[in-house]
Amino acid sequence: MFGNCQRIPTSLLLQPTSTVATEPSPAAVRAKFRVVFINATACYLVAYQLVAFVYQASTALVARRLGVPGVWNLGGIHFELGDNSWTRNLVLEVYSSGPALTLALGLLALGWFGKRQRHRRGLAKLLLLWVAFHACNTVFGGLLADTVTQSGWWYVPNWLLGAGSTWPSLVLGLLLAAGQVVLGFLAATPFILAQDSHTILQFERRPQLVRATIVGPWLVGSSLLIISRLPSLSLNEGLHYATMALLVVPLALGCLQESFSQKKWTPSPTRVAWGLLALAGLALLAWRVGLAGGVRV
């Protein structure tokens, strides 16, 4: 009965079965990139609001504890203490608290991404990276912006190293700005790993990925933040949006050169994260309503 059957080589049995991969239509690809852009912009907005709140709230709390009067409004925190009343220790304590806690938040987000979220599906890892990016810009690029306007934590290096002169903040600001550029290049691979869709990860679609997940969210997200701060937008905060280019541009260039295009695990469906989008809108609204009339420190 089985005499005419031929033995199948073991090597053939061990070979994986081939599957026919259907290439998505151009319209489907465009729709997927639109969804990716919406989700990335929501991550950008939520992360910025979180970092800004930690920075400004910590500064306000320390100032209140030390008895420094001021007003916290849409344009930031404005202290009402006369110049002659500021001491070295007072300056260092008030103006260093925000950068210190913001840097800690960024390192925490980066560590959480690397240890817990890097190989998981979902938007959490992308949100954590944007928190780390905004924290980096607030401290690194932010010092350069603060040096231009002579405000914020521009006071800290000057009083700490220069006995009131201005050269320490300028030198340190330029060094940190250069460091932010380097970090932008180094962040390219983790940023690519934070994308879940095999469709957008394909190397031939890398320019679209850069526009939808990096440049677009930066420009649109910053524009929405600017609108939410009007008419009280300060020059300092506007410069902070601009110094983000020191991280975003090298990040985009690094992603364009990164050849990684496949993941080992099954990709997640690309859907609009309505919950995250609602959170971004609520955060903008809460910031606008809560600080429009000013809050006494």
Q: Which of 246, 238, 229 is nearest to 133 (CA)?
A: 246
First to last CA, the chain: 93
Is-cis flag, bond preceding 231, omega within 30? yes
Enumerate the domain spans of the chain: 35-292
* DSSP bridge partners of 296: 71
And the tokens for 59?
């500064």
Sign of CA dihedral 232, 236, 240, 245: positive
Whole-model pTM above 0.85?
Answer: yes
Q: Which two tokens stand for residue 295?
A: 């809050």
Q: Tell me the H-state helices in the chain.
A: 10-14, 26-65, 88-112, 124-136, 142-149, 155-161, 167-186, 188-193, 198-201, 206-210, 216-229, 235-243, 245-257, 274-291
Question: pLDDT digit string (tens) for 82-120?
Answer: 888 888 899 999 999 999 999 999 999 999 998 877 777
Spatial separation of the C-alpha atoms in residues 144 and 243, rounded to whole Å = 8
What pLDDT digit, counting tens, does each position of 234-292 carry?
A: 999 999 999 999 999 999 999 998 876 655 555 567 789 999 999 999 999 999 999 98
Give CA–CA dist 129/114, Å, rounded.
Answer: 10
